[in-house]
Amino acid sequence: MLTEADINAPACVVVTCEHAGHEVPDAYAHLFAQAGDVLESHRGYDPGAIGVAVRLSALLSAPLLHTHITRLLIEANRSIGHPDLFSPFTQSLPEQERHEIIERYYLPHRTAVDRTIGALIATGSRVVHLGVHTFTDTWPGKDRAFEIGLLFDPTRAWEHTMCQRWAERIADARPGVRVRLNEPYLGTDDGLTTWLRTRYGPEDYAGIEIELRQGAVLTQGHQPWADLLSGCLTAPVIG
């Protein structure tokens, strides 16, 4: 069981971005020949996310791991076997081709993130993993009336405490910015962080997904949001 001292102990940060771009490998370009608008939309990637991730990584002196392959080829933030791992553009590909996509464009990112976190934990460090994403302003037809969502597993004390403190710090620093916990998605939904929680215990690993409202990031730029997040992620928030 984690104590208050455990929660406040120092930790290091790893930043990831699973939907950094909408690149299509040449071998699969024919599948997306008529999908330009879709690729450029939130269905193809997370607009604005990589800019925030890059600056956040620099400000926190944290390693950054990302993939620019479109989520419409394969969804880097879903587990193997999940019905949304492959999109309607790739679901009907032969099993061997889907296996090749997993091997070439899915596993390298996951393996790199896992090894980076595992290596830090092996040295005795605790790791805060920040997965940077953006969400659409409306869905479906309803305004998502907040700018920042912090997603976590409420049963893991370190994650829960960190996100509560972080949200409070952000509210104090920028009173007009609205922060929600476990919105617009649940932190326990299938994703990279939920998989990593099965590999590392709650005393060593905290997987937090940052969700930013796309309109806010694209209108104001990535810098103020990365600066706000990093500036408020200090002791005793992070430990």
* CATH entry, 4-232, from 3.90.550.10, 3.90.1170.50, 3.40.630.40, 2.40.280.10: 3.40.630.40
CB 238 within 8 A of CB 158: no
Burial 121-138 (b: 16+ CB within 10 A, else e): beeeebbbbbbbbbbbbe
Instruction: State the Cα–Cα distance between residues 113 and 162, nearest whole angstrom.
Output: 21
Q: Which two tokens stand for residue 135?
A: 């969400």
User: Residue 81 CB: number of other CB atoms within 10 A?
Assistant: 7
The pTM assigned to this predicted structure is 0.94
The domain limits of the chain are 4-232
Instruction: State the Cα–Cα distance between residues 229 and 198, nearest whole angstrom.
Output: 26
Strands of 12-17's sheet in order across: 64-66, 12-17, 127-135, 205-213, 148-151, 179-181
- What does residue 179 show for φ and ψ, rounded to 5 degrees? -115, 135
Q: Which two tokens stand for residue 50?
A: 């990589």
pLDDT per residue of the chain (239 residues) written in tens, 0 to 9:
444 444 455 689 999 999 999 999 999 999 999 998 999 999 999 999 999 999 999 999 999 999 999 999 999 999 999 999 999 999 999 999 999 999 999 999 999 999 999 999 999 999 999 999 999 999 887 889 999 999 999 999 999 999 999 999 999 999 999 999 999 999 999 999 999 999 999 999 999 999 999 999 999 999 999 999 999 998 667 76
